[in-house]
Amino acid sequence: MIARGQRRRPSVRTGECLTTETLRLADEVAGVLASHGAKTAVIGAIALAIHGYARGTEDLDLATTIDLAVLRKAASDLETRGCVVRLGEPDADDPLGGVLTVTRDEADPVQVVNYANPFRPGSDALAASALASAIPKVLGSLAVVDLPHLVALKLYAGGRKSMVDILEILDRNPDADRDRIRDVCARFGLEAEWNDVADPRARF
C-alpha cells in the first residue's frame, strides 16, 4: 500500500509501482552488501514483474551469496544507519543461508535472501550463477536476475506458488529461450523439475 505523500516509480513493463522510499532502501541495502564484497540482484515478485508477470507483493527481495558472519556484519551496519533489521539464521535443514529483513520509515520491507548456507556446501552455486548473469541497472542501480535463472530459482524454492509463478511467466514470455532455461536448470540438478513444468499438461 502506498502511504500518503510517498512518491511512486513505475516498474519496468508493468503498471505496478514501487515507492521511491522502497527503492532507496533497497539501493542502500545493496550498497552495504557491496561494501562487504557481496553481489545482489532482485528476485521474487518484483523480478517477475520486470519479466512481464505482475502479482501482489509486500516486499522487495534481493538475492545474495555471502558468508553468514559477514551477513551479520552487514545487518549491524544497516542498524547503525537507522534501519530496523531482523536476521533469520539457517540450520542444516534450511535450503537458504539466512534471510535478512530490513525496514525503515515508510519503505516496504527489503528482504535479503542469502543462498550460501554454511551447513550445506555448494548451496550457493545456482544463486552465484544468477548473480553473475543478472541484468544490470534495471531498477536504478539494482540488477535483476535474468529469466532462465529466475525460473531455476523458483524451481529450487519449490511449492505450488512457485510453480504457478513459473507457468505465468512462461505464458507471458512465449518467445523465451526454453533451451537456455533447460540448460540452466540441468546445470544445477533441476532438469526433471523443469521438464515437469514445461509439459503443457502442468496446470494447477
Which residue spans within 40-165 are E strands per DSSP?
A: 41-43, 60-64, 84-88, 99-103, 110-114, 135-139, 142-144
Write out pLDDT tens, residues 24-62. Answer: 999 999 999 999 999 999 999 999 999 999 998 999 999
* 204 Cβ neighbours under 8 A, 6+ residues apart: 160, 163, 164, 167
Q: What is residue 200's predicted lDDT score, i.e. its pLDDT?
A: 61
The mean pLDDT value for 77-83 works out to: 98
User: Mean pLDDT over all residues of the chain?
Assistant: 91
The mean pLDDT value for 66-79 works out to: 98
| Cβ neighbours around 93 below 10 Å, total | 8
pTM for the whole structure: 0.90
pLDDT at 116 over 60: yes
The mean pLDDT value for 2-18 works out to: 42
Q: Hey, which CATH number is domain 1-145, 3.30.460.10, 3.40.50.150, 2.40.30.110, 3.90.380.10?
A: 3.30.460.10
Q: CA neighbours within 13 Å on the CB side: how many for 179?
A: 0
Sheet holding 84-88, edge to edge: 84-88, 99-103, 110-114, 60-64, 41-43, 142-144, 135-139
Q: How confident is the model at residue 11 (pLDDT cuts 50, 70, 90)?
A: very low
